[in-house]
Chain A
């Protein structure tokens, strides 16, 4: 069993047939931006790319500015989509939905499974970088597969048993790419093609998936699931990533779902590198082969499946052996709903808007409780522009989760004589502006 659609199995032979059918449609170029929302179709697109020697492009967002950049990075890229209309400005390849895609049953004659070289470049994932251009990170097939072997083991998935993996995260995000697509494909487990959103959807898709089943999700979805009061169908394992969970929330989830909850730590650059069972310990345990190295104030990860030594965006206390603790994010980093950016990057985008004289983003209040999402705000000096016009320009450039709330128009920013902008001064200005605004 390779996948489930609405609880109905899709056989590996069907998958191979779909991969074979899709291959020629992807053309002669070397890159595919795979935006399929349906997880099965995404997987078919990924595999067809691998077989055809094409690299999948996985940007963190698809704003017009990012697409324009991708075009420069990979001029031969096409966009594989399963939606009727797409505003992505690349040559579109529509997923052939009339072509008996993912119909259950009907195994065709036995087909040989294509062999992929471990050194083959499978994907480029992108981070937002500090100024303007998204930064590509290469992922080779062998290292992705190696990481998934460790992940299967660390999640305690028994070899030889096929788990049905339900996920609320998109297949294009590094966490979802690994845990909801690569993990099932590379370890004999089955992906569930849906991406349930509302708590009632999550419960319904879980209930339809055969056991043993796994839910791959985030603190945001888990919190919503708990708050909905719905009965969570028995689930053999729940996996959470993108932000750490408190022990209390983790206990509540294990109790309500009669399950085990494991958290994964990782990043776009490194992929998954550690796991913890939050109800047992706040210490994270690294995947074998990966090393954390403190360098001055920073922590770098290298070794194992990590392609390149990577500076991690969290404050980390390295304990003995393969253990470590997380102590929050690095000051400049912004992480909202598993999307990462930096104040530096957001400021760069804001200040490149014609008419913006000066502008700066700041972190929202962190004391709203760990469960709610903390947004960013911005103070902007832009005589002649209104907030709506600035927001519309930002929307073209940055992912909507980073749109400032509030966006405050101010006469000037409290810069020091050397041009520095102390965070405290900026936050006080924002607080004063909000107080004086007529809202509410």
Chain B
């Protein structure tokens, strides 16, 4: 992953992260065919395991969506998988920092 700062990058902690989180929640619910309404996924709810109950197959699916939508290629060794997917907020922050579109 490069350290280039994307022109699309939002200041961290801004309302932009919240908006991006909502957008991601919608994409995740659609991609995975989840029963949960996107609005019910809290920004700090864990996505993996106990929280939303996603597993590694889902994570791969989300990675595809994120690469298509934002041009972010997730890498397991660049940051810990479990950290990125610890919550919607973490995922949004990661995407925001690395997006190319």
Q: Is the CB of B64 within 8 A of A440?
A: no
Residue in A201, A221, A224, A400 whose beta carbon sits within 8 Å of that of B75 in the complex: A201
Q: Is the CB of B35 within 8 A of A439?
A: yes
Q: Does B45 contact A (CB under 8 A)?
A: no
Q: Is the CB of A198 within 8 A of B57?
A: no
Q: Is the CB of B63 within 8 A of A199?
A: yes
**Assuming A199-B67, A434-B35, what are 19 further A-B pairs, CB within 8 angstroms?**
A197-B56, A197-B60, A198-B60, A198-B63, A200-B74, A201-B75, A204-B75, A224-B60, A228-B64, A228-B73, A392-B50, A400-B49, A405-B34, A405-B35, A406-B35, A437-B35, A438-B37, A440-B29, A440-B37
Total A-B pairs, Cβ < 8 A: 63
Q: Does B76 contact A (CB under 8 A)?
A: yes
Instruction: Name B60's closest neighbour in chain A (CB-CB).
Output: A224
Q: Is the CB of B64 within 8 A of A220?
A: no
- A321–chain B nearest beta-carbon distance, Å: 37
CA distance A438 to B55 in the complex (A): 24
CA distance A201 to B75 in the complex (A): 6
- A398–chain B nearest beta-carbon distance, Å: 12
- Chain A 402-440 per-residue mask, 1 if CB under 8 angstroms from chain B, else 0: 010110000000000000000000000000001001111
Q: Does A7 contact B (CB under 8 A)?
A: no
Q: Is the CB of A198 within 8 A of B37?
A: no
Chain B contacts of A403 at CB under 8 A? 53, 55
Q: Does A68 contact B (CB under 8 A)?
A: no
Q: Does B36 contact A (CB under 8 A)?
A: yes
Q: Does A155 contact B (CB under 8 A)?
A: no
- A242–chain B nearest beta-carbon distance, Å: 12
Query: Which of A200, A401, A434 has the largest count of B CB atoms less than 10 A from its CB?
Result: A200
CA distance A262 to B60 in the complex (A): 23
Instruction: Name A230's closest neighbour in chain B (CB-CB).
Output: B73
Chain B contacts of A400 at CB under 8 A? 49, 53, 55
Q: Does B81 contact A (CB under 8 A)?
A: yes
